[in-house]
Structure 1
């Protein structure tokens, strides 16, 4: 048989008397093999082949699997006067797990992340391990592009699931998982924002029954990232609130929980819209609406001309003739309602950071809820100093560039009348927004 050089290179090493491997020794020449040392060394197996992953120097053992790293320590913060948790308590997690496709297509965001920490097989184990560790009744995931793999793992742990994928070239979507022993799905709806010319993001709206008694609506959304399209972000958020409210009314005014990556900071106008029910968009620059665009040039232009077109106004408010966007829900943010430590909480009571990569350190993930529910505890986030020491997420201990946020909700005895809410939107805008941002931006470029 003719000699085939390429075939010879792919053949496994001979099983007889393998040469001893040494750790930590630099290659004697460019391209020489390097053994990646760690606390755990997999047994040598001649049946496995070497591989050279993109971006990795040297060769890495294909059969190596790192052991499960411990979940970083996070403490529970309890409400001062919350009712005792019982059978009607429901824990809900919101977690942007960083789509595999997005991680590979945006390497500039993860320059300081070890290549093996970005590999999907490693991140998947960490993500599932963390979800299992906190053992939430409901899990709302965003940026899910390996849904079958995640769903198979979750099914083995007693979860049912629902998935809504994005349209177009996007490969990810939103997925909601619930424990079948405690929760029953009563109705399911979804929003494809591309049908309303609001880009190809998606949201889920579902009605659940807890323990055969209490009912509530759950929304799961991943809002558009693009910082300069605040009009589209506003439109997506507004439409989710309207759809959730309609579904709650259909089921006799049951309470609502909204989870997701809203891609807006606590200092932003969109956060104000969520928390106060109204926003006059004419007083804001759409490029600054979500708080993600910190460029000085954008701020300078906004002082000169906000430049809202009829189409942008229609995206934000629902009508080109209406400059005030509004929604009918009295929303409270679970983390803002429970006081945390100053090392990881900001001016608004929200976490200082739920996401960290090369160009952003700040909060964009939330769990909102309406009257009829009380938040009895939240899983506090990590201190900012601890996050900074990682130099960026994900790591070998954390599987995404977002932290999962978790809150426990209990059903309150009485639902407060929404008419009792004071209209805070008429107060002086400049006084309400005179706060110093706690978020840190590393670049003014638009990813």
Structure 2
């Protein structure tokens, strides 16, 4: 069997597996706030209604990636269940795809587009005396990839040609970015092509994935949408095993909101140590600062409970798990939600402050876009980490204004209005 046919068969098998898996899942009602698996208690479902999953398969593409990443043509993807079961997301019985070959396929598909901005890994002041040098670092990527339905139908990027947002090419740009840096842990927001693109591709690349859509996604207001957008978390299964997982619907003053978070406890295969990873996407737009603050407080409270167990009264509690929190917070550093995280008793620090000379200042921007209301250049995205338990070895630098270009983001050479963030993190000595 030639290589293209082999990958076509692979994707067919994965899509059949996804359909069987979705048929066996039972969703939670919109009133359910939390689902956890593993060592955590689990809520029982309050509703048995669900929407059918769709996993279309392309049939005649000559390129391997095109075969793996066929997107929906005319049908609208029905909304998936809000809280799918983590334990069923283990597709470990199929051969993996060669990432180098897949990256070459991306470059062929993108040869008519300008190259992505060249970004370098920057090494902050060394923390080598504290880390376990004989174990490789853990590479973490955080990225709001821009939901396809929002990019084409709602966000109104007036300086970005509509053709630059064509999913048939933009998906290659997204995957090229991921394959270039090959993170061990990948945290994404605004994912609306999870089931037909990211889940089968990332599974074939050796990752386990989890997806949590927003209860009321704005994507569903767009004609020809591909279903709701949400958060996704992927980890490389050769490096980690899943110990526990929680799906959170964030609250504000005890009321459920439209924002969500995924929290997973992973066991590092090399060190045997555990690491808690969370991904979230807080409420967007100015005027919603108090809601973002309340959502952040709710997330921190849940993280305290999940990492410490009985609470987080003691910063130095020996039972506290090291923590990484990635997300599009939609909040500049002066906002209250940022202050909540930086002063939390969980002992969190923002990784990208380490790029500054004083190690206390965030980058000038992680998002830069032009809309009818004007130009917006601000820092909204963060990678938080437990600084007493983890050390940052290097970070991916921020592109310059010249690299981004006068029309800002997204563009022909960059697929999202948010920049990806990436850092290598190591365990400190216990």
Settle same-fold status: TM greater than 0.5: yes
Identify the match of residue 162 of structure 1 among 210, 218, 232: 210
Identify the match of residue 336 of structure 1 among 329, 350, 353: 353
Aligned pairs for 1:10-409 within 5 A: 66-67=110-111, 70-83=115-128, 86-108=134-156, 110-148=157-195, 149-170=197-218, 171-193=228-250, 196-212=254-270, 213-250=272-309, 252-277=319-344, 328-339=345-356, 348-358=360-370, 359-370=375-386, 371-387=388-404, 389-409=405-425
* Aligned partner of residue 74 in structure 1, secondary structure: coil
- For the Cα contact (< 8 Å) 1:219–1:240, is it kept in 2? no
CA pair 347-160 structure 1, distance change in 2 beyond 3 A: closer
- List alignment gaps of at least 5 residues for structure 2: 1-107, 219-227, 310-317
What's the offset of the Cα at 1:273? Answer: 2.2
2 CA distance for matches of 1:141 and 1:216?
18
Q: State the superposition RMSD in angstroms.
A: 2.4
> Which residue is 1:52 aligned to?
none
1 CA distance for matches of 2:184 and 2:114?
23
TM-score, normalising length: structure 1: 0.62
> Which residue is 2:429 aligned to?
413
What's the offset of the Cα at 1:352? Answer: 1.1
Residues 58-95 of structure 1: CA distance to partner in whole angstroms, max 9, x if unpaired? xxxxxx95427544211111132222755242010000
- List alignment gaps of at least 5 residues for structure 1: 1-63, 278-327, 341-345, 415-447
- For the Cα contact (< 8 Å) 1:88–1:214, is it kept in 2? no
TM-score, normalising length: structure 2: 0.64
Q: How many pairs align?
A: 295
What's the offset of the Cα at 1:393? Answer: 1.1
What's the offset of the Cα at 1:239? Answer: 1.4
What's the offset of the Cα at 1:107? Answer: 4.6
- For the Cα contact (< 8 Å) 2:356–2:363, is it kept in 1? no
- For the Cα contact (< 8 Å) 2:250–2:299, is it kept in 1? no
Moved more, 331-340 or 236-245: 331-340
What's the offset of the Cα at 1:199? Answer: 2.3
CA pair 73-86 structure 1, distance change in 2 beyond 3 A: farther
- For the Cα contact (< 8 Å) 1:198–1:235, is it kept in 2? no
Larger CA Rg, structure 1 vs 2: 1
Q: Kindly report structure 1 stretches of 4+ aligned residues shifted beyond 3 Å.
A: 68-71
